[in-house]
Homo-oligomer: A and B are copies of this chain.
Amino acid sequence: MTQMSTGIVPAAGAPSPHTVAALLGARGHRRTVMTGEVLFHEGDMSNSVFGCVSGRVRLIVAGAAGRELVLAVCGPGDIFGDVAALDGRGRSATAVAMEPTEIVELSGADYIDAVRADPELALAALRSLAGRLRRANDRICAGETEPVAKRVARVLLDLAQRCPSPSGDGSVWVVSINQTDLAEMLGATREATARVLADLRRAGVITTARSRTVVHDRDALVAHARRC
């Protein structure tokens, strides 16, 4: 069981933006999408494949009670939409740009051709899928066995790790996210998330502010994620 990732930044080992741009960009078509723009909807039978060059795209699914669940957040260098292109079974999630985002788009057929023609692209695609599968499995394990408190600690750690301390002194990490988004990443309600954050705040591990959480004691957070 490895650390769960939120995908804010490409995972270690993921292709670099240059690689994706080079590998997909040669055959694909580059464009910029606006915040909130939907690239495809869950269930659509479209099958084009996207590479994220800059910006961020959120992959969400509609849960049972109308709640929405964030499956992944794709950043620069990430490939998405490839699952539908490979199995032809329709989009497994909805893709929404979270900010102005530069993407490369390629038809499903062209993607298959490109993979066939370029072993390095094939390997990059395999690595990307392997990483996403590992994360998904981690999340299955976490979701089905761990209480919300542990999940919050785990995700905060992950976010903190990806946002290298802009506040200077190196022992403090600032995570810019509101409680609602954090809750969706956990598959929990905002209220449950807020209560866990309150506990952590009282324990002196973090401080919270509007759309921002500051991690003061990383080790304590690790301990919370582990034993609980």
Listed in ascending order, the chain A residues whose CB lies under 8 Å from chain B are: 1-2, 13, 42-43, 61-65, 67, 69, 71, 82-83, 86-90, 92-93, 112, 115-117, 119, 122-123, 125-127, 129-134, 136-141, 143-146, 150, 187
**Additional 19 contacts, C-beta under 8 A, given A13-B87, A65-B145:** A1-B42, A64-B150, A67-B145, A69-B144, A82-B130, A83-B130, A83-B133, A83-B134, A87-B131, A92-B134, A92-B137, A115-B119, A115-B123, A122-B126, A126-B129, A129-B130, A132-B133, A133-B133, A140-B143
6 of the cross-chain contacts (CB-CB < 8 Å) are A65-B145, A82-B126, A82-B130, A129-B129, A136-B140, A140-B187
Q: Which residues of B contact A63 (CB under 8 A)?
A: 141, 144-145
Residue of B90, B125, B131, B136 near A126 (CB, 8 A) is: B125
Q: Which residues of B contact A87 (CB under 8 A)?
A: 13, 127, 130-131, 134
When C-beta atoms are compared, the residue in chain B nearest to A43 turns out to be B1
Bound CA span A20–B122, Å? 18
Q: Which residues of B contact A132 (CB under 8 A)?
A: 133
Quickly give the copy total for this chain: 2
Do B61 and A1 have beta carbons less than 8 Å apart? yes
Bound CA span A215–B126, Å? 39
Chain B CB within 10 Å, residue with most, of A132, A134, A139: A134
Bound CA span A78–B67, Å? 34
Bound CA span A110–B70, Å? 36
When C-beta atoms are compared, the residue in chain B nearest to A130 turns out to be B86
- Taking the closest CB of chain B, its distance from the CB of A112, in whole angstroms, is 7
Bound CA span A137–B129, Å? 12
Chain B CB within 10 Å, residue with most, of A42, A69, A87: A87
Bound CA span A55–B43, Å? 33
Q: Which residues of B contact A112 (CB under 8 A)?
A: 123
Q: Which residues of B contact A144 (CB under 8 A)?
A: 63, 69, 143, 187
